[in-house]
Amino acid sequence: MKKIILGITGGIAAYKSCEVIRLLKKSNFDVHVIMTENSKKFITPLTLEVLSNNKVQTNQWNLHSDIYDGISHINYSKNASCILVAPASANFIAKLANGIADDLLSSTCLARKIPLILAPSMNTHMWENPATKRNINQVKDDGINIIGPNTGFQACGDSGIGRMIEPAEISDYIKNSFFKKNNLPLNKLNILITAGPTYEAIDPVRGITNLSSGKMGFSIAEEAFRNGANVDIICGHSLQDCSSTINRINVTSAKEMFERVLTHCKTKKIDIFFSVAAIADWRPKQIKKIKLKKEKDTLDNIKWIENPDILSSVANLPKSLRPFTVAFAAETNNLTNFLPQLGEKMLKKKANLLVANKVPESFGACDTRIMIFEKKNKFKIFNGSKNLLAKEIISKSIEIMKNEKWK
């Protein structure tokens, strides 16, 4: 049974830690909890002891010596597989970024030789504060894993990024990251992914875009990285975060994404291309230099042109440059109603595999429903978290690559 240390810091999301413990226990993990003093104002040690079946540690000067001997903050993590801090407050992240160890949890994190995962939780303004951003970048550079946060309504009444990701997402991440064999043969493969929405400017203040959050693309990126791939992700405006070892390239427009993707394919041998981004089909022929006035014929005077087709352009590269290509299709109706159209799209785009997802309900959601569509109209429908679906998508891609003896 794998041992996990769960650190809980002060914040309203501390109540979610109960569900995190339940899910990890259900997956046969041995959960040992360390609480900060502030966390005890939101949830009691007794509750967590009952759920984890282990004594909850709260004081480095009074560690339960019947279980752990010697110097507490050094020995406590020696036989653990990882440390998970959920929720991780802005204050605790600041401590880690600056090497401050003034309680049992921060000392244990500083003295560890095992992976450390943080699930941030804080008010959206705290998350957006430059000091927090500096601290997040620092802990990433130090090799600490960050998962989340999500966007949504917060207990304080604000709405925005800062919500701790859901317990099911945390549990999936832990299982997939550290305790499942990396059975996807991605070692040393170069993976390129597009993610998120593009934005097509009309004038200096207006433009067209969509509600894509980029979650699926980033889930595929993390799954590929965890299985040994070299990952580049080219994304439009997205609040999603990723491991510091994933090469993230931010773009705005479809044209800019097109240029970046083609440059990557031509200069870096790409093995698999996941075209996940929700790319605008059209853009204004000319971006106005001043804000358009609200007049009767304003919209009629905008000339639209079609954006370059990134997927087709990649699939039509010379054989020496062409990667295995996975297309994504967003549909608003029942997925099975579009089987003929999906087959036609896959053929037209010269994609090796196509993933269809139901929108708009999947935009920004943690869970979704997808159809993985193969040649000869073979398909299978999957439901679940985007983290788990990313594994299914990559598994099917590798399977087809092997069957087609793709090189």
Q: 169 - beta bridge partners?
A: none
Angle at 402 between CA 400 and CA 403, to 5 degrees: 65
Cross-strand bridge partners of residue 145? 117
Is residue 181 helix, strand or coil?
Answer: coil
CA distance 195 to 189: 19
| CA 306 to chain centroid | 30
d(CA 4, CA 71): 19
Three-class SS of residue 311? helix
Q: Are 32 and 57 in contact (CB under 8 A)?
A: yes
Query: 323 preceded by cis ω (within 30°)?
Result: no
Distance, in Å, from the CA atom of 263 to the CA atom of 251, rounded to the nearest integer, reads 14
Q: What is the DSSP string of 94-162?
A: HHHHTT---SHHHHHHHT--S-EEEEE---HHHHHSHHHHHHHHHHHHTT-EE---EEEE-TTS-EEEE
Report yes or no: 258 and 266 within 8 Å, Cβ to Cβ: no
- CA–centroid distance for 118 within its chain: 13
Residue 235 annotated as catalytic: no
Half-sphere exposure of 235 (CA within 13 A, CB side): 24
CB 182 within 8 A of CB 227: yes
Among the options 18, 156, 265, 366, which is catalytic? 156
Sequence-distant (≥ 6) Cβ neighbours of residue 357 within 8 angstroms: 216, 328, 329, 330, 331, 335, 368, 369, 370, 371
The full length of the chain comes to: 407
Q: Which helix (H) or strand (E) holds 349?
A: helix 339-349
Q: Which residues are catalytic?
A: 156
